[in-house]
Amino acid sequence: MEYICGMTFAPFAPEGKLSRKETRKSLMEMKERTGANFVILVPNGLQQTPQSEDISFSTRATMTDEELTEIIAYAKELGLRVALKPTANCANGTWRAHINFFDEDVPCEPKWCNWFASYTKFQLHYAQIAEACGCEMFIAGCEMVMSERREEEWRKLIADIRTVYHGMVSYNTDKYQEHNVKWWDCVDVISSSGYYPIDDLERQFDRIEAVVKKYKKPFFFAEAGCMSVTGSSLVPNNWEVQGEAAPKEQRDWYEAMLAACGKRPWVEGIAFWSWGEHLYPERTACSRRDYEIFGKPAEKVVKRYYDKWQEERR
């Protein structure tokens, strides 16, 4: 697998956002300012609650297929490799990791079998687009923690995806969950969300390394990031952290994370969360308290590492 210097771009963009001129400009700026060679696009699927069985991906909350295929083509014009990561979310705001049902079917209760049928339809729709557009990777969802124990269903889903998509297939598990997924052998690439505390990186990397060695698969962080908020470097997974704007703390986390990746040969890349389709005024960057790195000190850290890694691999 070619080394991944990546960014997630315009995640969960609703209908109309990806077709704007400013969106293309932002994608071009992303490549130029970060040195990225890989972009992850994230079509949005919505179910009403964590116990809803149906996932919708045809409303205005989701980018159109035409918009998606056009932005994939533009990303490739820019020289970016592309991954699609269709991701299910809950309309009521509950984090997708909590989507869950009884392990045994119960009359009049929502069921895993119905949910997986809907999830498979959702994934196969975008797997067909990934195949038609020549995407280099397909990531079959993100942080579906409570569902990951359903090994038989996940194995069937990955097999079904392979009937329509013939590139590399991955799945993005959540932080701290890498060792709990028992079906890594059926994907081509192991990936996870690397939102780890700045003072615990080495211990977590040691734990993940044991998983990678066990399954003998390539590994990369399909998500990672830290907000520019005081205290976020200690809980980078918590998007609700309150505090003062802290661009230096964000920069320090990026420096530590990228340095840690560089010391581990089995880490074959990282894709940060995220780069928006609309760029805010750069003069306001350091006053923002979010995961964006545009115009912040962390952006220069990413560019330095990405340029270095790609030069070393030429």
- What pLDDT sits at residue 300? 98
Structure confidence by residue, pLDDT tens digits, 176-194: 999 999 999 999 999 999 9
Please state, in angstroms and rounded to a whole number, the distance separating the CA atoms of residues 280 and 161. Answer: 37
Joined together, the tokens standing for residue 34 give 């970060």
Joined together, the tokens standing for residue 55 give 């996932």
Structure confidence by residue, pLDDT tens digits, 194-234: 999 999 999 999 999 999 999 999 999 999 999 999 999 99
Please state, in angstroms and rounded to a whole number, the distance separating the CA atoms of residues 132 and 126. Answer: 10
CB atoms within 10 A of CB 240: 7
Q: How confident is the model at residue 49 (pLDDT cuts 50, 70, 90)?
A: very high
Q: What is the DSSP string of 255-275?
A: HHHHHHHHT-TTEEEEEEEEE
| Residue 301 backbone dihedrals phi, psi, to 5 degrees | -65, -45
Is there a contact between 180 and 228 (Cβ–Cβ < 8 Å)?
A: no
Please state, in angstroms and rounded to a whole number, the distance separating the CA atoms of residues 245 and 56. Answer: 36
Mean pLDDT taken over the chain: 98
- What pLDDT sits at residue 68? 98
- Return the percentage of the chain with pLDDT > 70, whole number: 100
- What pLDDT sits at residue 137? 99
Q: How confident is the model at residue 158 (pLDDT cuts 50, 70, 90)?
A: very high
Give residues with Cβ within 8 angstroms of 107, minimum separation 6: none
Structure confidence by residue, pLDDT tens digits, 85-134: 999 999 999 999 999 999 999 999 999 999 999 999 999 999 999 999 99
Joined together, the tokens standing for residue 160 give 């079904």
pTM above 0.95, yes or no: yes
Q: How confident is the model at residue 73 (pLDDT cuts 50, 70, 90)?
A: very high
Give residues with Cβ within 8 angstroms of 268, minimum separation 6: 1, 3, 4, 218, 219, 220
Joined together, the tokens standing for residue 157 give 């889903």
> Bridge partners of 87?
44
Q: How confident is the model at residue 157 (pLDDT cuts 50, 70, 90)?
A: very high
- What pLDDT sits at residue 298? 98
The label of the residue with tokens 């894709």 reads 271
Coil/strand/helix, residue 42: coil
Please state, in angstroms and rounded to a whole number, the distance separating the CA atoms of residues 232 and 163. Answer: 42
- What pLDDT sits at residue 198? 98
Question: What is residue 167's DSSP assignment?
Answer: S
Question: What is residue 56's DSSP assignment?
Answer: B
Joined together, the tokens standing for residue 183 give 């079906």
Which amino acid, one-letter code, is at 222?
A: A
Residue ranges of domains in the chain, CATH in brackets: 4-220 (3.20.20.80)
